[in-house]
Amino acid sequence: MRFKILVFVLASALLAGTFLAAYWFYDTVDRTERVAVDKLNRRIREVATQPAPDPAATSFARAMEAVAAGEVDSAHDQLTRLLKVYPSSPRVPAVQRILGEINLDRLFSRSPMPGKRDYIVKPGDSLARIEKGSLTTIPFLIQINNLPGLGLQPGDRLVYQPLEFEVEVDASRSSLTVRRMASAGLEPEFFKKYALTAVVLPPNFPKTLKTQIQEKAAWLDGGKISVTDPKYTFARKRLTTTSRPGRAGLVLQSESERPRPSAAPAAPDATATASPLHSAVSTGVFLDDADMEELTTILRVGTPVVVRR
């Protein structure tokens, strides 16, 4: 009997010792590990909620310093490189906005720079003739050379730059991007990005459409006018892409031309004919009026256009 009691006491002591040892391990060694794991998990959650570091931050800061110092060429080169090296940077929209304005200022500057060319007017020359031979546009020639009119005199010196661009319309992002066409061995280079006020595509429009500008038109008082008309400046401009059998070309036009729904539309008049100004404008790509003026100045007939839904 005494032996059984002794065995029981020893077993109980052994069990208690095991329990105490397990508790000590849990409270000291294991607790330290659990605290470390908890700290690590909290740090992971903190990092996950913080914005990722932007590798383009330093390059962007240097470019802004160049802009502030008036070093436009240096800023242009740095921002162009930033777009190519860090296309996913959150600073890309700001870079595109600043770079677009720099590119436009450089394009319309008469200062010597890569791409700029001189032309000496010859007897019999006209802006239309120079336009065809220089891959440019009459509005661009007028603006860059500050011409008071369309008349030219032999010996006049004109500055111009070939306008070799391509256009991408992204309907899902309501944006239109202009790029310089790729030269030998190089990729297209960003020029400027425009925000679209509306994109209304016709039914069954393809997911991706590759086309080109077929017509540059100007309308005033319901009539179509030529670019050489003195009233051209005051006209509404349109760019129309190539049409295909059964599908009209897509029209790029001013926001002010976009039809607005009326509260009580008038009954159609069977004897009336549609004004050319308001025909086929219910679908198309719409831009701010100033942006539309800009595009019709720098884009030529034949400019490639890609439209993505």
pLDDT tens for the chain, residues 1 to 309: 555 555 444 555 555 555 555 554 555 555 566 666 566 666 656 545 656 678 888 999 999 999 999 999 999 999 999 999 999 999 999 999 999 999 999 999 988 888 899 999 999 999 989 998 889 999 999 999 999 888 899 999 999 999 999 999 999 999 999 999 987 556 889 999 999 999 999 888 899 999 999 999 888 888 888 888 888 888 899 999 998 877 788 999 999 888 776 544 444 444 433 334 444 457 899 999 999 999 999 999 999 999 998
Where are the domains positioned within the chain? 65-107, 110-162, 165-260+275-308
Give residue 284's identity as a one-letter amino acid code: G
| Reported pTM | 0.76
CATH of domain 165-260+275-308: 2.40.440.10
> Which residue, 252, 246, 233, 241, is CA-closest to 295?
252
As given in the structure block, the two tokens for residue 27 are 């409270």
Q: Which residues contact 37 (CB under 8 A, 6 or more apart)?
A: none
Beta strands in the chain (DSSP E): 117-120, 157-160, 165-170, 175-180, 189-200, 208-220, 223-225, 236-241, 251-254, 284-287, 304-308
* Phi, psi of 174, deg, nearest 5: 50, 50
Look up residue 248 and give its two tokens.
């009209």
CATH 3.10.350.10 fits 110-162, yes or no: yes
